[in-house]
Amino acid sequence: MRQRTAYASLLLLTTTLVAPAALAQVAPSTGAPAAPAPAPATASPVTPADTAADPQQDQAEVSAPGVDTSASEDIVVVGRNIPNTVRATAQVVSVLSAADIARTGEGDIAGALTRVTGLSVVGNGYVFVRGLGDRYSSALLNGSPLPSPEPLRRTVPLDIFPTSIVGSALVQKTYSANYPGEFGGGVINLTTKAIPDESFITGGASVTIDTETTGRLGYTYFGSKTDWLGYDNGERRVPGFIKAAPTGTGVIPTEQVAQLSNAPTTLLQRNGDIPPNWSGELSAGLTGDLGATRLGVVATGSISNTWRTRDVTQQDTVQETGSLRNDFHTVITDNRAVVNGLLGFGAEFDANRIRWTNVYIHDSLKQGRASAATIYNNSSGAPLFQQNTSFFERQLIETQLVGEFKPVDGLSVDLRGAYANSKRKSPYERQFIYLCNTALNITVDVPVGGTALNCPGVWQATNAFDRFATVVFSELNENLYSGQADVAYKLSGERPMTLSGGYYFSDNDRTSTRLPFVYQTTTGAQIPFPCNLFRPDFLLSPDVLNGCAVSPTGTPAQNAVQMRFDAGQNGSYAYDARLRIHAGYVQAEAEAFDGLRAIIGVRYETAKQQVTPVNSTGTLLNNDYFLPAATLTWNFAENMQLRVAASKTIARPQFRELAPQAFRDFESDRLFFGNPRLRDSELYNLEARYEWFFARDQRITAAGFYKRIDRPIEQVGFYPTPDARLQTGFTYLPKATLWGAEVEVQKYVPLDFISDGMAGKRAVIIANYTYTQSKITADDTCVPGVLEGTTLGGCQPNFAPARLLFRDGAPLTGQSDHLVNLQLGYEDTDNGTQVTALFNYASDRVTNRGPSLLGGVGFQPDIVERPGIRLDLVARQKTEFLGRQIEIKAEGRNLTGTRYQERQTFEGGNVVDVNRYRLGRMFTLGASVTF
């Protein structure tokens, strides 16, 4: 061992360094070896208090790309309070251990991640890191990529991962070459549980009341008998003639229309007593020794059934002044059922570990929707009613094998391979439209749309607003194969160095179809009087399908109902997509000077991305990149570190952004179209971070960051025709910049100063704040237009100057200027009591670019979401009953009663509420027992 400098020796003497407790697995090899060198012989004696492991120190289990080199003892880390996971990496990371996740009380990992500095969740489980959306971030499971079951995303929504199967969540905010090159805001690596500390069986259940949903009005329909489990029993099976329609005549004759599911998927009913939410979970773990090998099995399964009703105001405008064109009052009831399971096997022998993990997640959403308006496009002034029923299933299956080996001293080898499949099926997305007719001397006094909007006459199926009846069948299937090999070797010498390298491969292929149909008579008209007065299931009954026999004009044969495949403005009905990546990296890690360690690497990544739509323009992107990354960590004082990082990374357009296929998002109720002319984005990243770990598991950190993005991809709102509803397309900008700062404080305060009776009790204070600014550049540079066949500003066909699509200097979509998280807690480890208040605030953020005015010059204001302030309260109490450990948990969510608001604000003061509704306060009571 080389001679230490006097300065380093003095620090060692004064801090009396000891090795921390070993982790089952630690952070990836992006960092320097974690354990400090032993003190010289002249060091002061080590006291028992110093050597005792602090029980409050979370031992997070992390399995991520790269080789674990944490066993080295050659790099000095000054300060025993620096957590093990932070010691083991030279990168900027945030880690949620199992204890951290439990403290938040969240049911899924997306909710738990909102407590991490700089992270926010937008939409259904998509995590934004420092204002950059899921396009600029990636999610890994035990270091392997995941496919997405969502047509709008390539990144998997993290709200489908229950916290019960996640052992830790690591967020790395600076890039290192062992990670995939698609890195913007950060990478989120979820590590599942492997070998338990001891054998166990745990079962639990909970029930939740939502003040805006439970026991209140909603709109539901029957569907199938097994919908409550999230699985269709065959009622919604899609027949072959539907799948064959696009390649045939496109017309489904009456006798085949009659074979489709009718009343179970059509009849929407008022339900005045929506039930409460419930969930159940069963977990088991087994561990033991076989000779010198430690073996473990972890299995978990859970099911949940939740309801959510939204009483929504939905408006839009095509006018520069913001005068309303559509003003709908909509009641939406979602019934979500999630079934998931995990089966993991682990083995540890000597310094080697093998992990085989299998994950199954099935997530379904059954939605009923009733909308009513008197202000709508081409309004006659008469009330209009629209009903929608839908059901979609998302499924993710992954199996992965990870091996971490140390065959000889100084040499580490990691191998990982995975196969994953995701599916999304959405059959029978039905819509019916009725107009109030007051000229027939008939009155039906039934309020619709959740309001007192009554029809002073009778509801009549109509084509005046849109086709009186439509149905859509969609399906997506995606396979992902991936593998990675990493090797690291420690070179001994005066200043030891670890050299590492690896190879990565992934092959991702997707098939997606969307088949829209309209109902019409054989002559192309709507169903005639009086049959058009029937409710939807009678409207599609055989008596009407075969021709309305009683009609002032026409014969039953002329009035027979058919279905016609409607390509229309829906783009390509099907596409295939594939992304194949080969990558390799080299990386060196060393202590340049005492207390200063550096990790420098470069990744070479080549990828071929292809999207092939039917009867439309396709995309072929074939690019390769060298992606350098460097991070310096200076441990300049006891328990203090300064990190500086620089890197270049990329972001590829997602399949959905490239495919010219229509897709309706059930959450925002907007229609999305891809753009085949998008290109890769390139990012240049800088970061500096100060860390002070002033006591065990306590810290103050502060960071500043800057990013420049070339060709950032953004959403653009547009109206394809003056009568169409707002739609969303994608294009890129010449450039965008993002910069900001964040600060975090974590402090534990022992309460024994109050009285002796408070011994063993402590207060918990965890606070973080992120300030972010971004600015897009929209000049005369020609960028892809969102309307096919449109050419503007002297650009090539289908392109337009960026200034005609975007407002120069506007912020990036999804970026909040301010993010604040505050956790105040009370913990009594002796009695198993934990109470935590969680405060969250996110400032306004753009969710969609304001569309261009119909004349092509000028913009509407951007659509802005106002997340506001949210307060949650979580209490957990452990106790024993009949010799069994019981944990009781009570939660109160959204105690502030924060609303969801998405709006446009015009200069004249007009406000257009694109989506506005109340979010319920949610109260949960649950219990679990461990055997």
Residue 533 included in any domain: no
If asked whether residues 185 and 259 sit together in one domain, one would say no
Is 0.95 topped by the overall pTM?
no
Quick one: what percent of the chain has pLDDT higher than 90?
A: 51
If asked whether residues 69 and 174 sit together in one domain, one would say yes
- Given pLDDT bands bounded at 50, 70 and 90, which one contains residue 107? low
Range in 250-259, 367-376, 540-549 the model is least confident about: 540-549
Residue 346 has pLDDT above 50, yes or no: yes
Residue 545 included in any domain: no
Range in 462-476, 492-506, 595-609, 850-864 the model is least confident about: 850-864
If asked whether residues 179 and 268 sit together in one domain, one would say no
Residue 452 included in any domain: yes
Residue 16 has pLDDT above 50, yes or no: no
Residue 534 included in any domain: no
- Coil, strand or helix: which one is 163? helix
Cβ proximity of 596 and 637 under 8 Å: no
Look at the chain and report how many structural domains it folds into.
Answer: 2
Cβ-based burial of 553 (10 A; exposed 0-12, middle 13-18, buried ≥19): exposed
The mean pLDDT of 202-229, rounded to a whole number, is 95
- Given pLDDT bands bounded at 50, 70 and 90, which one contains residue 598? very high
Question: Which CATH number characterizes residue 136's domain?
Answer: 2.170.130.10
Distance CA 779, CA 803 (A): 5
Residue 149 has pLDDT above 70, yes or no: no
Residue 113 included in any domain: yes
Residue 541 included in any domain: no
For 437, 603, 689, 815, the CA distances from 635, given in Å and listed in that order, are 78, 27, 12, 33
pLDDT for 52 equals 36
DSSP code of residue 21: P
Residue 326 bridge partners (DSSP): 316
Residue 115 has pLDDT above 80, yes or no: no
Q: In the listed set 169, 199, 229, which residue is the last one of a domain according to the structure?
A: 199
The H or E element spanning position 243 is: helix 240-244
Distance CA 913, CA 905 (A): 9
Q: In the listed set 155, 171, 199, which residue is the last one of a domain according to the structure?
A: 199
Question: Mean pLDDT: which of 39-48, 187-196, 432-441, 620-629 is highest?
Answer: 620-629
If asked whether residues 183 and 247 sit together in one domain, one would say no
Distance CA 316, CA 379 (A): 14
Quick one: what percent of the chain has pLDDT higher than 70?
A: 83
- Coil, strand or helix: which one is 655? helix
Chain Cα centroid distance, residue 399: 21
- Given pLDDT bands bounded at 50, 70 and 90, which one contains residue 86? low
If asked whether residues 146 and 229 sit together in one domain, one would say no
Q: In the listed set 199, 224, 240, which residue is the last one of a domain according to the structure?
A: 199
If asked whether residues 608 and 637 sit together in one domain, one would say yes
DSSP code of residue 792: -
Residue 129 has pLDDT above 80, yes or no: no
pLDDT for 224 equals 96
Residue 80 has pLDDT above 60, yes or no: no
For residue range 661-692, list pLDDT tens digits in order. Answer: 888 777 777 888 899 999 999 999 999 999 99
For residue range 737-760, list pLDDT tens digits in order. Answer: 999 999 999 999 999 888 888 888
Q: What is the 3-state secondary structure (H, E, C) of 294-310?
A: EEEEEEEEEEEEEEEEE
Residue 32 included in any domain: yes
Residue 795 included in any domain: yes
pLDDT for 164 equals 62
- Given pLDDT bands bounded at 50, 70 and 90, which one contains residue 567? confident
Question: Which CATH number characterizes residue 489's domain?
Answer: 2.40.170.20
Residue 118 has pLDDT above 80, yes or no: no
The mean pLDDT of 403-407, rounded to a whole number, is 94
If asked whether residues 188 and 281 sit together in one domain, one would say no
If asked whether residues 762 and 670 sit together in one domain, one would say yes
Domain containing 26 equals 6-199
If asked whether residues 234 and 159 sit together in one domain, one would say no
For residue range 162-214, list pLDDT tens digits in order. Answer: 566 677 788 888 899 999 999 887 888 888 777 888 888 989 999 999 999 99
DSSP code of residue 571: B
If asked whether residues 490 and 458 sit together in one domain, one would say yes
- Coil, strand or helix: which one is 657? helix
pLDDT for 902 equals 94
Residue 127 has pLDDT above 50, yes or no: yes
Note the residue count of the chain.
931
Phi/psi at 758 (nearest 5 deg)? -95, 10
If asked whether residues 211 and 193 sit together in one domain, one would say no
- Coil, strand or helix: which one is 728? strand
Range in 81-85, 142-146, 288-292, 828-832 the model is least confident about: 81-85
pLDDT for 123 equals 55
Phi/psi at 9 (nearest 5 deg)? -65, -40
| 270 vs 52 pLDDT, higher one | 270
DSSP string, 437-466: E-SSS--EEEEETTTTEEESSEEEE-SSSS
If asked whether residues 282 and 169 sit together in one domain, one would say no
Residue 533 has pLDDT above 50, yes or no: yes
Residue 66 has pLDDT above 80, yes or no: no
Residue 158 has pLDDT above 90, yes or no: no
